[in-house]
Structure 1
Amino acid sequence: MVNSPDNPADTLARRGLMLIMSSPSGAGKTTISRMLLEHDSHICNSVSCTTRAPRPGEVDGKDYYFVSKAEFDRMVDEGEFLEWAHVFGHSYGTPKAQVKAGLKDGQDYLFDIDWQGTQQLYQKLERDVVRVFLLPPSIDELRRRLTGRGTDSMEVIAARMERARSEISHWDGYDYVVVNDDIEACFEKVKKILAAERMRRARQTGLIGFVRELMAP
């Protein structure tokens, strides 16, 4: 939580939140998420477990927890995930113990997950979840962005475009929907959403005591 010596209210205890960023591939959620983590030291990335192999430069425990399929299945069976899903042939899941403890201490978490994971998180921890969906300005622009990466074959791009249309159909399951036609403008909107959600009365766990002190004779 941001503390300000000029404003006592900013030092009040606060319950953390889970900011979910979802979008079809190419709509900007990874870029916006990275900008948010660089700008705001009071929110951290939720580290997921995955069965896929590490990519060059990825660090176990920082980018992902890389686990075997057998270990992942065990964690599912024992209820150790807040949410989990199969994506492009691999499994991904969010361990719940660390997140639940952090929320109680006022830590905010950033989730880069799809609509299925969003639904699972919302069903389990509704009061802590803030759902943001990013839309591209047009389907043509989305295709241009995917093609411009130069990393995928036309077959993969076609599959991503098909999946994008499916993901976009779930836009109305989110609290906020932002059209990303300009990355800086989109980032500013997401920052404002986060700032407002942090100030919700229900999250200000130290507010009751603060108000009682103000009203004391």
Structure 2
Amino acid sequence: MFNRRGVAIAAAVGAAVLLVAGCEGDPAASKGTDSGKPGASSTPVAAASATAGPLMPALIGKAFAESEGLVKQVTAKPVEARSAYGDVPLAADHAQWAVCFQTPAAASPVAPDTAVELSLTAPGTPCPAQAGAALRPGKTPSPAKTPVPTKAPAPAPSAPAPASPKPKSSPTPAPGPKDVTYKNCAEAKAAGVTPIHRGQPGYAKHLDRDNDGIACDK
């Protein structure tokens, strides 16, 4: 009877020892990788960071030559360099130009085919407030003045038109005696008094055949 109880007790103790030992040696119980409890595992976070790829290095303030070498470590695409100022051309040799702006930003994840753009300034030139700004903004052009129309010169006074020559009047015959009479125009012409106007001495109707008031006018 005693032996049976002793054997049962010993078996129970052995089973308890084996159960405790199994729990302590279980990797899942010690690390919590697959325990079923939310938040118990840290391995998935580490795996995500490991597969996220390389990060874009911080390049602002560095020379282009150094920055280009750092970019080549994270992407295979060539770096596109440009001047940070819109009115300053990029020099052919810009190895020592400083980086003012970078795309992608520092600490951004990049892929092997990510394009990288760097905006540069010449040594000793400060960076602009934004890429593409003017280093030497020109003066605002003043609005073109509307030309004042020049007054046309007053036309020169035209020369006065030549006066029409007055028709030469027949010389007034010398007045003859008041009561002189002429038989005909031949006699009046011989006396040098023709033509004789009405009212003048020597005028007579028989001498003014056309009755125009002028005798011996033909």
Q: Same fold (TM over 0.5)?
A: no
TM-score range, shorter chain: under 0.3
More helix by share: 1
| TM-score normalised by L of structure 1 | 0.18
More strand by share: 1
- Greater gyration radius: 2
Structure number with greater CO (CA < 8 Å, separation at least 6) is 1
